[in-house]
Amino acid sequence: MLLKKEPRIRSLALGAIVASALLTAGFVETAPAYAKTADAQPAVLNASAVAVADKYAADTAEQIFKQGGNAVDAAVAIAFTLAVTYPEAGNIGGGGFMTLYVDHRPYFLDYRERAPLSATRNMYLDDKGEVIKGMSLYGHRAVGVPGTVDGMWEAQKRFGKLKWKQVLAPAIKYAQDGFEVDDQLVKRRDDASKEFAGKTNFDLYFGGMKAGQVFKQPDLAMTLQRIADKGAKGFYEGETANLIAKSMEGHGLITTRDLKDYKAVWRQPITASWNGYRVITAPPPSSGGVGLVQLLKMKADIKDKFQDVPLDSAQYIHLVAEIEKRVFADRAQYLGDPDFYKVPVAQLINDDYILKRAQEVNPDTPSDTKSVQPGLGTSMPEKAETTHFSVVDKWGNAVSNTYTINGYFGSGVIAEGTGIVLNDEMDDFASKPGVPNMFGVVGSDANSIAPKKRPLSSMTPTILTKDDKVAMVIGTPGGSRIFTSIFQVITNVYDFNMPLGDAVGATRFHHQLLPPNTIFQEPYHQLDADVIKQLEDKGYKFTMQGFNGDIQAIRIDGDKPEPMSDPRGRGVSRVIR
C-alpha cells in the first residue's frame, strides 16, 4: 500500500508588539525583538546541525547559519526551499506542526490546514450516504485552507534573528534558476501522474520534469517573491490569494475570505517524563503526541514483559502490537481539533490510566480486536506525503518540523499562475464515522468535517530534553505510521542502546488495531521468515506496505550534535560549523 483555541500565546517582547502594530499597516522589514536575546545566548554546542529531506535544503540551512541565523531562521528557510525542490511534500500549499525549544523553553506552533467556510459534514457522501471514492483525495474539493506560510511567518517573526527576506532568498533562487531533479522525485512524479490522470492539471506543471535536468518554476518564484515582499499577506491577500480563489471557482470551496481568515495557532505542546527525559511533542489536532507518549509509557510500564525479549523477535512484535492496539482504539474515539471537540488529553496521558491499559496487554496471544475499546469509556483518518526536518543551532535551540500536503503532490491541483501545489488534507477528516481513510484508520464525531475545523493528524514533531538541554530532535512522514515509527527509533536508541544510524535504519513494523491482527511490514527491511511464521501461528496476518517513513533525527551527545537521515529517502544530514 502506498501510504499515501487554545488562546494564542503571544508573549512577544515590546519591540515585537510595536513591530506587529506597524505590520498591520503594511509590511515593514524589521529585525524581530527576539534577535536581541539570541545574540546574548552563549554557544553550548560545537556546531549547528540539520537532518532534512534533500541536499538543497541542507545547503540552504548552511547558508542561513553562515549568515548568523538561528535554528528557527534555518527551519523557515528549509521549509520554503523544500516547497521548491521537494514538491511531492515540501509545500506552501499545505500545513503542518512545529515543535520548538528556544532559550530552554518548549513551544508548539499549529499551522495545520482548516476546512473552508462552506465545508459541510457530509460533503464527501452521495445521496445514499456512502463515501464518494476519491473526492477527498483528488482535485479542488480535497483542498484545505493552507497554513504553511502563516506558520513560517509566525515562527520567524517570534524567534528568528535574520530578516524575513533573507530566509526566503534561497527558495526564490531555486524556483527562478532551477535545481537538478533527482531520480526519486521523477519516480514519485510518474506515480502521481498516473493517479491524477484526467482529474487535475498536474501534468501541465510537472509533466516536463526530467531526471538529471534543471527544473525551473517561474510562477512559484513570483509567488515566493510576493511573500518575501509582503510577509504572510503576500500569500493570504492580494494577487496570490486572488489567483488561488480564481482557480477554485466552479471546482472547489476556498475563497479569498477563507485565505484572509486563516491563522496559525501557538498551543501548549504535550510534555511528559519518560526514562529520565522530557518528551516535548505534538498536541491535538495531532493524535501523534498522545500516541507517542502512550506507546513509550506503556512499554516502560510492562518492562518486565519486555525483559530479555530481543528486538524484532516474534514476542517483541506481539507485545508492541498489543500496545499499539490500545493506542489506536483511543485515537479513533477521542482525537480531533481541540477548538471544536473537547479532547481529554490529560486523561489520555495520565500515568495511572496508561498503566491500567498496559496491564491489559496479553503476553501470550493477540487480544481480540473487538474487545479493545477506547479506554476512557464510549468512536478517524489520513494519503502519503509529508516531510520532516530537524534542526539544532549552536546556542542549543531546536526545531522539529513536520509539514504536509497529505498525498504525494497533494490533491494534484496547482493553482494556476502561482506554482502552488495544493494539499488534499480534507481526507484526514472522517468523511463518515467508521469508514477508513487512505491510511486505513477510522474516526468519529471528534474528527467530523466543520467549517474552519482542522482535520486530525498523526504528525509528531518531537524534541527530547534532559536537564533542560536538547537530547534528541526527531520526526518522520508516514501518516498513521508516524508515531509508531518514532516510538521504534526512540526505543531502539534508549532501550536497546543502538547508535543513531542503526536505530534509524533498523526494520520497522506497524499495527493499528484495524485491520484485525494485521502487521504491516516494509520492503526496506523485511522481517525474518521464522518470526513471521511464529506470529502467523499466533493468529497474525502480514501485509507489505510501500512506504515506512523517512526519519530525520539529531541526537546530541555532550556538545556534539549527530544528525541522521533515514536511508529510506534522499535526505541529507549535515553538521555546520
Q: Which residues are catalytic?
A: 386
Give min distance, CB of 182 to ligand DON, in A: 17
Binding-site member from 459, 474, 490, 504 for ligand DON (CB under 6 A): 459
Nearer to ligand DON, 315 or 488 (CB): 488
Nearer to ligand DON, 345 or 459 (CB): 459
Distance in Å from the first CA to the final CA of the chain: 41
Cβ atoms of residues 462 and 99 within 8 Å: yes
385 binds ligand DON (CB under 6 A): yes
Of 69-77, 341-349, 454-462, 489-497, which part binds ligand DON (CB under 6 A)? 454-462
79 binds ligand DON (CB under 6 A): no
Binding-site member from 428, 473, 509, 527 for ligand DON (CB under 6 A): 428
CA dihedral (161, 164, 167, 169) positive or negative? negative
457 binds ligand DON (CB under 6 A): yes
91 binds ligand DON (CB under 6 A): no
404 binds ligand DON (CB under 6 A): yes
Helix (H, G, I), strand (E, B) or coil at 524: coil
Nearer to ligand DON, 436 or 561 (CB): 436
Give min distance, CB of 457 to ligand DON, in A: 3
Give min distance, CB of 345 to ligand DON, in A: 17
Q: Around 422, how many Cα atoms within 13 Å sit in the side-chain half-sphere?
A: 32
Of 150-158, 378-386, 409-417, 490-498, which part binds ligand DON (CB under 6 A)? 378-386
| Other Cβ atoms within 10 Å of 558 Cβ, number | 8
The rounded distance, in Å, linking the Cα atoms of 154 and 81 is 17
400 binds ligand DON (CB under 6 A): no
Cβ atoms of residues 202 and 108 within 8 Å: no
How far, in Å, are 3, 16, 190, 203, 438 from residue 133 at the CA level?
16, 47, 22, 22, 11
Nearer to ligand DON, 98 or 221 (CB): 98
Cβ atoms of residues 257 and 268 within 8 Å: no
Give min distance, CB of 26 to ligand DON, in A: 34
458 binds ligand DON (CB under 6 A): yes
Give min distance, CB of 497 to ligand DON, in A: 29
Q: Which of 478, 483, 423 is nearest to 455 (CA)?
A: 423
Nearer to ligand DON, 64 or 384 (CB): 384
Non-local CB neighbours of 421 within 8 Å, separated by 6+ positions: 87, 91, 93, 205, 405, 409, 410, 413, 414
Bridge partners of residue 465, in order along the sequence: 278, 470
Nearer to ligand DON, 58 or 486 (CB): 486
Cβ atoms of residues 519 and 534 within 8 Å: no
Of 12-20, 30-38, 233-241, 456-464, which part binds ligand DON (CB under 6 A)? 456-464
The rounded distance, in Å, linking the Cα atoms of 408 and 193 is 10
Residues 468 to 527 in contact with ligand DON, rule: CB under 6 A: 477-479, 482
Binding-site member from 235, 509, 520, 547 for ligand DON (CB under 6 A): 547
State the amino acid at position 82 in one-letter form: L
The rounded distance, in Å, linking the Cα atoms of 139 and 413 is 6
Cβ atoms of residues 493 and 500 within 8 Å: yes
Binding residue count for ligand DON, defined by CB under 6 A: 17
Element (H, E) at 215: strand 214-215
Nearer to ligand DON, 379 or 406 (CB): 406
Positions that interact with ligand DON (CB under 6 A): 3, 382, 384-386, 404, 406, 425, 428, 457-459, 477-479, 482, 547
